[in-house]
């Protein structure tokens, strides 16, 4: 009996010690600490996105990633310098609460802002069923990144939340302003035209996509075929999804 009591006490003490121990922070780094030359245009920290408002968890417009993914992105950036181009990230690590907010938005019929330019040919209520929005995201594991190519040193484009912009599938000059090379659609465009190898874009737009795809593939990133801007990095021990808010650097 005494041994059983001692064993139970030891288990209780171990559990208490585990609870008292500081929890390990997610293994994420600020991209600007790895490579400050990569442009950042974090769309979910502002209103230039398909929800029309900042998403929960985006307390700062910062890109966080797993260290290996951030270093690989820096290698891509170094190679692009010869072509006088730069990467520009739209989104990196995404807190789980933001993923949940996206799903909730897709099911909501109440909209304060018209953001149909992001889904000009679809009904908002169909976006979840069609797979454009999901309950889980590799972004929450810090291994996915949404990005594009911009001329190196180009000035950021000014977004006016009060302006009326054309659909994301329209001509480059009529979409919401972006200093990106013309990729055929804007970022987060819910349309078949966003499929990486869609045949409905111009030869010049297709060439820009191929340039981005080749540069990213060379350094270990895999593209999601339905989104020309989305790439994932196969990092070891990357199964854990996080909900840590993105804090100012």
Two tokens, residue 248: 């100012």
Strands 230-233 and 144-151: antiparallel
Q: Are 238 and 56 in contact (CB under 8 A)?
A: no
Sign of the torsion angle spanned by Cα atoms 111, 95, 165, 156: positive
Q: Does residue 110 carry a catalytic annotation? A: no
What b-and-e string marks burial along 240-249, b requiring 16 or more CB atoms within 10 Å of the CB?
ebbebebeee
Catalytic residue among 62, 79, 110, 227: 227
Q: Are 141 and 240 in contact (CB under 8 A)?
A: yes
Which among 79, 107, 125 is positioned nearest to 221, based on CA atoms?
79
DSSP class of residue 51? T
Q: Give the active site residues.
A: 227
């Amino acid at each position: 009996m005494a041994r059983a009591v001692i064993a139970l006490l030891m288990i209780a003490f171990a559990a208490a010690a585990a609870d008292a121990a500081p929890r390990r922070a997610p293994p994420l780094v600020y991209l600007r600490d790895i490579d400050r030359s990569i442009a950042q245009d974090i769309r979910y920290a502002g209103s230039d996105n398909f929800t029309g408002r900042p998403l929960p968890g985006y307390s700062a417009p910062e890109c966080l990633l797993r260290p290996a993914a951030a270093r690989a992105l820096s290698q891509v950036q170094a190679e692009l310098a010869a072509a006088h181009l730069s990467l520009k990230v739209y989104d990196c690590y995404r807190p789980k609460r933001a993923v949940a907010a996206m799903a909730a938005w897709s099911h909501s019929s109440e909209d304060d802002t018209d953001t149909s330019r992001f889904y000009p040919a679809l009904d908002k209520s169909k976006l979840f069923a069609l797979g454009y929005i999901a309950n889980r995201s590799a972004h929450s594991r810090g291994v996915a990144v949404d990005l594009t190519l911009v001329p190196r040193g180009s000035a950021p484009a000014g977004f006016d939340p009060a302006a009326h912009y054309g659909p994301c599938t329209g001509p480059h000059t009529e979409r919401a302003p972006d200093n990106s090379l013309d990729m055929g659609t804007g970022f987060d465009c819910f349309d078949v035209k966003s499929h990486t190898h869609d045949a409905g874009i111009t030869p010049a737009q297709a060439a820009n996509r191929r340039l981005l795809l080749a540069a990213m593939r060379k350094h270990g990133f895999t593209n999601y075929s339905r989104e020309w801007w989305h790439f994932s990095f196969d990092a070891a021990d990357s199964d854990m999804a996080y909900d840590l808010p993105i804090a100012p650097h």
